[in-house]
A and B are shown apart, each in its own frame.
Chain A
Amino acid sequence: MFEEDYNLDKEITDYIDWCKEQEHPESYLIAILHKIQEKYGYLSQENMYEVAQKLRVPTSFVSGVATFYHYFRLKPRGYFHISICLGTACFVKGADLVLKAFQNELGIEIGETTSDGVFSIEGARCIGVCALAPVLMINDAVYGNVKPTQVSELLSSLRAKYNQEKKVSA
């Protein structure tokens, strides 16, 4: 987590340098964290430590802010990132039960990743295909009319796919 691990992209460190010239550099903290999440998908401890050192904001405050907002992810996304729509239409059609099924099957909460790194889940707001409610996305693919009873099977097929793809790449 230390200097030798500094690896923030130049685009981001340039932005931090710019922030430091502004009147209240610390007020840009959230903006910086957003940029990092956009780039790397999550906020690693190394990256937060580097931000703290470069922006001269106490590390505890950086991680305090990062854990306060649900939007920030503190762990890398899974190989399959599942965002379950919790928008009104989906919710009415039982999205909460779908979510619960994923939580039960995977043993993780919203914003978490399974310890093997294969799955992560997230709650999303309306993704614009309410006609198919309840809806979820797995990486870039949209799945509609999902029933809680299908979740177990869906996960098994994804796992098989994962094993397959891993084997190919190995």
Chain B
Amino acid sequence: MNKVNIQIDDINLEVPENSTIMEACDKVGIHIPRLCYHPILSNEGACRICIVEVDGIYNYLPSCSTYVFDGMKIKTNSPEIRQARRDLVELMLDNHPMDCQLCVRNGNCELQALSYKLGVRERLFEGVRKSYELDLSSDSVVRNAEKCILCGQCIRVCANVQGVYNLSQHHRGVNTIVTPAFLSSMENSVCVKCGQCINVCPTAAFTEKDYTEKIWAALNDPDIFVIAQTAPSIRAAIAEGFGHPPGVNGTGQMITALRRLGFDAVFDTNFGADLTIVEESVEFLKRLESGEKLPMITSCSPGWIKFLEHFFPELIPNASTCKSPMQMVSTLLKTYYAEKNNLDPKKIFVVGVMPCTAKKFESRRPEHYNVEGGYPYTDAVITTRELIWMIKAYGIDFNHLPKGNFDLPLGFSTGAGDIFGSTGGVMEATLRTCQAKLTGIQNQELEYFDVRNVEGLREASIKIGDKVLNIAIANGLNNAKTILNRVKNKEKEYHIVEIMACLGGCVAGGGQPIPDVGEFIYPLDKNMIKLRAKALYDIDENKSIRRAHENPYIEKLYEEYLGKPGGELAYKLLHTHYHPRLPKGI
């Protein structure tokens, strides 16, 4: 690649000729402010905050979308540039509600941080402010157009990364607003509730639906038995909420914090992950034998399932009918566990702590209610962010907590369950169990490095016994589209496909901590995702049992209660179904 010589402020350097000014500046530790740029999204150049001065060019140039040329002399700082940037932010604030104190992004908002950094200290323009209703229609994602600064990142993540294209700018000029098609509500749209728009939004224009109020009330009610279950990825990210870098395993402190908040029992969604593997392997081996409904596609990611229902309804029969790990655990808590402990299921309140906003939606699907009793199996779902907030609200000093352990029996998991949170994890866990079942040999290779990688799209052929399994793994729904089109058009014959809605899997779900604005880490940063995933693989590696079907509490559960994997009761409690949804996605 050709290199060019440029000068930034007084620093001389050589950079590849296809670099932008912003990229070149990042390399030498000059952080130019930015509000609409994201390295994995297409370039929009909407906010103009990133302007710099280039020798010989009269206008300021947006550094995020201007490429360097040989001999370019760039000035990133001068009283005039700082003033111009400040003016731009002041203009945005002119049309922004001034209620940081009431805002969930208070303390981690890019607009707020930038106003501080650029020295906005008074309100200069008091114009007419836009006023829009809060869109509370969705169970998962709340849209507050009054806080939108029109950076377009949500539109681009929803289109480029998720392939959903739910959002677009509507109207023009001062009336511009970001909404789903026809200016309709989030609920009446193809939104799959993945929450990635929340992750990339620099302000609080997209946030998750808050379920904490219901949980405080349940915790405060002595007649209610309140249970928490935590998804694999929470432990790999929760410490970020308390000043740690990504990838720190916070399992023990998380469990103690939940107990201090008043939860009567703390279980592990990973138990459900193990159980999912057991059921899914039986289902898969059956399909493999009969050759029907192949490829089987995994079904634990509810954003992906909603995507399937809107965009690929013809492939619904291919999805595994297994409930997600969360729903398996919740169902067992209000049946098996309740019976065993003489608890009235109506007096049990199950809280799922999830890295995912779509889990909120999943918990409200009518399929996940007990029909006779009229109650949901999962009462409330909160994200990692909401749990972090609850811990802070309660005055718990997370970093000085002793480490706790999950309760039994639904708190025990094998290494297979742990890795569910990362892309490829479900595949690897399934392969471990299928391998043992297909070959009858127990102690073989456990780590399928072919499937470990946070790339968005992978295909491999894996030899197990005398069979060769063609597998595909996709994360990020735009990547999933590629695989699904191959399946739909019969271009490829896969046996099993793993799909997770979010890039990198649940570790980068729409409910995970948003990097601190001071850290200069982008939401969805690849390295951050890798570190979180590594934390999960480390947990797996340190476990003595690493195949789901060897989980002794699962063996006991089948013996005592469920009967056979894939048997009648297991099918009734642990499986579900899906249905086409409108509007149709494109």
Q: Please give the residue numbers on chain A whose beta carbons come within 8 Å of chain B beta carbons, in ascending order.
A: 1-3, 45, 48-49, 52-53, 56-64, 67-68
Contact = CB atoms under 8 A, between A and B. Distances in A.
B165 interface: yes
B169 interface: yes
B168 A58 contact: yes
Closest 9 A/B residue pairs (Cβ): A58-B165, A64-B168, A60-B168, A59-B181, A60-B181, A67-B170, A63-B181, A63-B182, A67-B171
Interface stretch (B389-397, B452-460, B578-586): B578-586
Contacts of A60: 165-168, 179-181, 189
Contact of A59 (B159, B169, B586): B586
Interface in B158-192: 159, 165-172, 179-183, 189-190
A57 B169 contact: no
A58 B172 contact: no
Contacts of B582: 1-2
Contacts of A58: 159, 165, 168, 181, 586
A64 B583 contact: no
B130 to A, nearest CB: 15
Contacts of B586: 52-53, 56-59
Given A2-B582, A53-B586, A61 B165 contact: yes
Nearest to B171: A67
Contacts of B183: 63, 67
A53 B189 CA distance: 14
Contact of A61 (B168, B179, B583): B168
Contacts of B159: 58
B135 to A, nearest CB: 14
A110 B425 CA distance: 56
Contacts of B165: 58-61
Given A45-B182, A48-B182, A59 B170 contact: no
Given A45-B182, A48-B182, A58-B159, A63 B168 contact: yes
B116 to A, nearest CB: 33
Contacts of B171: 67-68
B479 to A, nearest CB: 18
Q: What does DSSP make chain A's interface, helix, strand, loop or mixed?
A: helix
Nearest to A62: B181
Contacts of B182: 45, 48, 59, 63
A61 B159 CA distance: 11
Interface string B558-584: 000000000000000000000000111
Interface string B36-49: 00000000000000
A133 B52 CA distance: 51
A68 B178 CA distance: 12
B181 A68 contact: no
Interface of B: 159, 165-172, 179-183, 189-190, 582-584, 586
B583 A2 contact: yes
A67 B182 CA distance: 9
A52 B586 CA distance: 8
Given A63-B182, A67-B183, A1 B167 contact: no
Nearest to A1: B583
A123 B584 CA distance: 36
B188 to A, nearest CB: 9
A108 B166 CA distance: 29
B153 to A, nearest CB: 15
Nearest to B584: A53
Contact of A49 (B166, B179, B583): B583
A58 B167 CA distance: 9
Contacts of A2: 582-584
A47 B165 CA distance: 19
Contacts of A56: 586
Nearest to A61: B168
B586 to A, nearest CB: 5
A157 B189 CA distance: 43
Given A2-B583, A59-B182, A68-B172, 20 more contacts: A2-B582, A2-B584, A3-B584, A45-B182, A53-B584, A57-B586, A58-B159, A58-B181, A59-B181, A59-B586, A60-B166, A61-B165, A63-B170, A63-B181, A63-B183, A64-B168, A67-B172, A67-B183, A68-B170, A68-B171
A45 B189 CA distance: 13
B170 A64 contact: yes
B273 to A, nearest CB: 34
A100 to B, nearest CB: 18
B167 A59 contact: no
A53 B311 CA distance: 11
A69 B181 CA distance: 15
A65 to B, nearest CB: 8
B48 to A, nearest CB: 20
A64 B169 contact: yes
A71 to B, nearest CB: 12
A52 B310 CA distance: 14
A63 B170 CA distance: 7
Contacts of A1: 582-583
Nearest to B180: A60
Contacts of B167: 60
A59 B583 contact: yes
Contacts of A48: 181-182
B366 to A, nearest CB: 21
A55 B169 CA distance: 20
Contacts of A61: 165, 168
Q: Which of A3, A56, A57, A64 has the most CB of B within 10 A?
A: A64
A165 to B, nearest CB: 32
A67 B582 CA distance: 22
Nearest to B167: A60
Q: Which of B171, B179, B190, B583 has the most CB of A within 10 A?
A: B583
A61 B183 CA distance: 11
Nearest to A74: B182
B419 to A, nearest CB: 34
A165 B170 CA distance: 38
A61 B165 CA distance: 8
A123 to B, nearest CB: 16
Contacts of A53: 584, 586
